[in-house]
């Protein structure tokens, strides 16, 4: 009988690809923070969330520039995924609700939210329906990216193709929110 290639210790304690990607993304940011004398975890969270909100907002605006309606929404959905894959640590920092009393944190989060809600208004969704649509989109992007980063999709299908299909199903499904808001 051959020696096992993995031990229980390897499975429990070795970092996954997902962990490594987030750590790599955050390490430079944390070094920068430490040089600025940010020395508490809440301050670090605040800084990372603000930076993440700002970068994501810029990415989404650039993606939607010159587009409207479903085309803008599609561009935003793809830009959200790209940002989450390219900057997994900062993307994760934007997942948190502002638990630190910081006007800047609230402002950046609200600014990003207003922009995305404006994109939803372009497809006829406002108010609660738009907020539901945003929650669903965030769950779609985050869930897909987490599976992609962890390489948990074992089927030999292209991630980009699967994500494109998911976005199309999502956009077509928004009609359910149009009827639900009445």
3-state secondary structure of 15: coil
- Evaluate whether residue 1 is within a structural domain: no
Distance CA 162, CA 144 (A): 9
Find out whether 155 and 107 touch, Cβ atoms under 8 Å.
no
- Evaluate whether residue 163 is within a structural domain: yes
Quote the pLDDT of residue 93. 80
- Evaluate whether residue 3 is within a structural domain: no
Give 20-61 pLDDT, tens digit per residue.
666 666 666 666 656 666 667 777 778 888 889 999 999 999
Q: Which is more confidently placed, 156 or 110?
A: 110
In this prediction, residues 86-91 reach a mean pLDDT of: 85
CATH code of 169's domain: 1.10.357.10
- Evaluate whether residue 2 is within a structural domain: no
Predicted confidence (pLDDT) at residue 177 exceeds the cutoff of 50: yes
Give 135-162 pLDDT, tens digit per residue.
999 999 999 988 887 777 677 778 899 9
Angle at 82 between CA 165 and CA 95, to 5 degrees: 100
Q: Could you tell me the residue range of the domain that residue 66 belongs to?
A: 14-180
**pTM value surpassing 0.85:** no
C-alpha distances in Å from residue 161, one per residue of 69, 78, 154, 166: 22, 12, 15, 9
- Evaluate whether residue 7 is within a structural domain: no
Question: How many structural domains does the chain have?
Answer: 1
Kindly report the number of other CB atoms within 10 A of residue 174's CB atom: 20
Helix axes 127-149, 159-173, angle to 10 degrees: 170
Distance CA 97, CA 147 (A): 22
- Evaluate whether residue 8 is within a structural domain: no
Find out whether 129 and 181 touch, Cβ atoms under 8 Å.
yes
Query: 12 falls in which pLDDT band (50, 70, 90)?
Result: very low
Predicted confidence (pLDDT) at residue 16 exceeds the cutoff of 70: no
- Evaluate whether residue 9 is within a structural domain: no
- Evaluate whether residue 89 is within a structural domain: yes
3-state secondary structure of 136: helix
């Amino acid at each position: 009988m051959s020696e096992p290639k993995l031990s229980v210790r390897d499975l429990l304690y070795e970092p996954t690809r997902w962990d490594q990607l987030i750590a790599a993304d955050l390490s430079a940011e944390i070094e920068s923070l430490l040089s600025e004398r940010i020395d508490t975890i809440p301050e670090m969270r605040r800084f990372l969330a603000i930076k993440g909100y700002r970068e994501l907002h810029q990415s989404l605006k650039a993606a939607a520039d010159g587009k409207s309606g479903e085309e803008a929404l599609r561009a935003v959905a793809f830009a959200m995924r790209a940002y989450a894959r390219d900057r997994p640590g900062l993307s994760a920092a934007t997942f948190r609700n502002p638990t630190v009393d910081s006007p800047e944190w609230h402002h950046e989060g609200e600014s990003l939210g207003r922009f995305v809600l404006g994109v939803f208004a372009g497809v006829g969704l406002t108010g609660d329906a738009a907020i539901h649509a945003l929650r669903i989109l965030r769950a779609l992007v985050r869930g897909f990216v987490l599976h992609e980063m962890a390489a948990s999709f074992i089927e030999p299908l292209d991630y980009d193709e699967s994500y494109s299909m998911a976005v199309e199903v999502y956009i077509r499904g928004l009609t359910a929110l149009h009827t639900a808001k009445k």
